[in-house]
Amino acid sequence: MANSVLNIIKIGGNVIDDESQLDSFLEKFSALSGKKILVHGGGKIATRLANELGIQAQMVEGRRVTDEDMLRVVTMVYAGLTNKTIVAKLQKLKCDAVGLSGADGDVIKAIKRPVKDIDYGFVGDLLHDSVNTLAIKKFLEAGFVPVFSAITHNGLGQLLNTNADTIASSLAVSLASLYETSLVYCFEKNGVLRDITDENSVIPAIKSEEFEYLKESGVVNEGMIPKLQNAFNAINKGVQEVYIGNANNLHLFQQGQFGTCLTLK
């Protein structure tokens, strides 16, 4: 049974790649009251470092293929440089953060993605029981703010590269049994837009049945569809609400004015 409120915030690479934008976002994040978790993606740093090391980055349909060399790079960047930079910046803001990969405290276990048409290499997929909720609860109840990179492990000594959106969603679903959990996806748009060319055309709220209509009418299309499908999947599994909005507007979240709010009913 949920006993208090928990907000899980996910930021993408566009925030991480811009230091001033990251600093501004982290100020807003640190000011959020109550229990909270930050999940971050990787940005372009891993690709740049790979190029400098002569390692060719491979992408298939927007998904990174992670061979052994690339796994070393993304682990160094995501779980190392990026994660610890964020933690250090939060400590400066008096936000007592602790940086975690899935291997730390055995908090997120994954399985290597099975090879079908494409071999994605050391990419980890999450299962329904991948998240160690009790371990994460210990951090939260001790007053720490967990900051998760997108690196997981298989429990047998192998690190895996896992999609950060999926990690955020899985954390929210798992922790919804312990807390009243909201999931917040921060990206570069102001929310789900009725008109993709008009940043002010934000749809403030979408319920499950309205999502189907918005898809059929073409208002929601392309890259936004999987985001919303993941969001409603989380809601169907116990997450209170999912928000999608601009990272620059996070300070409006606890005022009820942030982006698009997705709910079951």
By the 10 Å C-beta count (0-12 exposed, 13-18 middle, 19+ buried), 250 is classed as buried
The DSSP letter of residue 17 is T
Is 42 flagged in the annotation as binding? yes
Is 14 flagged in the annotation as binding? no
Please report where in the chains the tokens 């329904």 appear, as a residue.
128
- Which residue blocks in 176-223 are alpha helix, DSSP H? 208-216
| Nearest alpha-carbon partner for 11 in 183, 206, 241 | 183
Pairing of strands 159-161, 145-148: unpaired
> What six digits make up the tokens of 183?
């999931």
The alpha-carbon radius of gyration of the chain (Å, integer) is 18
Q: What is the DSSP string of 42-108?
A: -TTHHHHHHHHTTPPPEEETTEEEB-HHHHHHHIIIIIIIIHHHHHHHHHHTT--EEEE-TTGGG-B
Annotation: binding site for substrate: 42-43, 64, 161
Binding-site residue ranges: 42-43, 64, 161
